[in-house]
Amino acid sequence: MSKPELAKLGYVALVTPDIEKSLWFFKEVIGLEETEEVDGVHYLRAWGDFGHHSLSIEKGESGYVKHVGWRTKNPKDVLAFKTALEHEGVKVQHVEAGTTRGIGEAIRFQLPSGHSFELYYDVDKPEVAEHRRSVLKNQTYKSWAKGVSPRRFDHVNIHASENIKETYNFLLEQLGFKMREYLVDDDGNTIAGWMSVTPLVHDVAFIAKPSLPTKARLHHLSYWSDDTQDILRAADILKENGIQFIGPGKHGVSQAIYLYVMDPGSGARVELFTGGYLIFEPDWEPIEWTMEERSLSNTYWGDSVQDKELNNITIEAK
């Protein structure tokens, strides 16, 4: 029997202490659409996302991530992952279909780093009300309706202070991610890795940070826009709304254009993202970056990501 596989990143389940502010930020400033609101949980997605949601937001005591959701390639992969993970001694929770609105039968477990992942196959694809529906049959909503208006969900970047090596192994061996680019410290340890199950350079970046407020953190979740001009337009929109950000700039790793902005409700960081390259090569050799090359890999040009207090802000991932 072949190994179970992940197809793609699905969604982030976000908790915010200020639901009004977070909804204003994600819906009006970023411009996400709301699929529905059920029991206080708001399900959001970009105009080009195809599934039920790429972000859920609900009210809580503090800003944190409940879990990150991933779609499997096949229906049977969900339970096959359960079997395989339990075989490795991982504690796996079975989650009834519909526990998260729009998401089918799922499993949840923690990475060695402490981050919670959810795997599922079934996803609702709800109809869009006619006045918001795109005139294009291959597009979900009308584009450019409000705010920054990115096309689709892109990736997550998570930080941890413990079990770094174990977590890389887990992501690569248990979950089937491929390492695309990575940063090594002077002792040759991988301290940052960009990994994907798709041709994107990363669906997830996993970064080691020796000291963190809690052991598992979200550095950012990222939405994709088609053009660099969209990112510069976003900078204008954010300034007009009095929201802090870092960027624009271009990463060496992934070659992507970035702008990092904080949700003023939850503290969650969003990376507005475009450009970069795709990896179709089946024999891709991961790109290694050393500590001396670190500033180039972080910031090829533009407003530097490195050594900024603002860039150290993360939120807890439970």
Interaction site with its own copies (CB under 8 A)? 2, 7-8, 48, 50-51, 71-74, 121, 134-139, 142-144, 146, 151-152, 181, 198-199, 201, 226-230, 232-233, 235-240, 242, 245, 247-250, 252-255, 257, 274-275, 277-278, 280-282, 287-289, 293, 296, 300-304
Q: Which two tokens stand for residue 268?
A: 């969650």
Q: How far is the CB of 41 from its own copies (least distance, A)?
A: 23
Smallest separation (angstroms) from its own copies to the CB of 152 = 7
Q: How far is residue 188 from each of residues 182, 183, 184, 289, 291, measured CA to CA in Å?
A: 11, 9, 5, 10, 10
Q: Rounded to 10 degrees, what is the CA torsion of 309, 112, 204, 119?
A: -130
Task: Give the nearest distance from C-beta 65 to its own copies in angstroms.
Answer: 21
| Residue 22 or 297 having the CB closest to its own copies | 297
Tokens of 21: 């502010």
Identify the helix (H) or strand (E) that includes residue 21: helix 19-23
**Could you give the residue ranges of the DSSP H alpha helices within 24-75?**
none
Alpha carbon dihedral 207, 105, 17, 158, in 10-degree steps, equals 0
Give yes or no for a contact between 273 and 222, defined as CB atoms under 8 angstroms apart. Answer: yes
Shortest CB 98 distance to its own copies, Å: 18
Measured from the CB atom, the residue of 221 and 237 that comes closer to its own copies is 237
| Nearest residue (CB) to its own copies, 34 versus 293 | 293
Q: How far is the CB of 143 from its own copies (least distance, A)?
A: 5
The first and second tokens of residue 159, run together, are: 């930080």
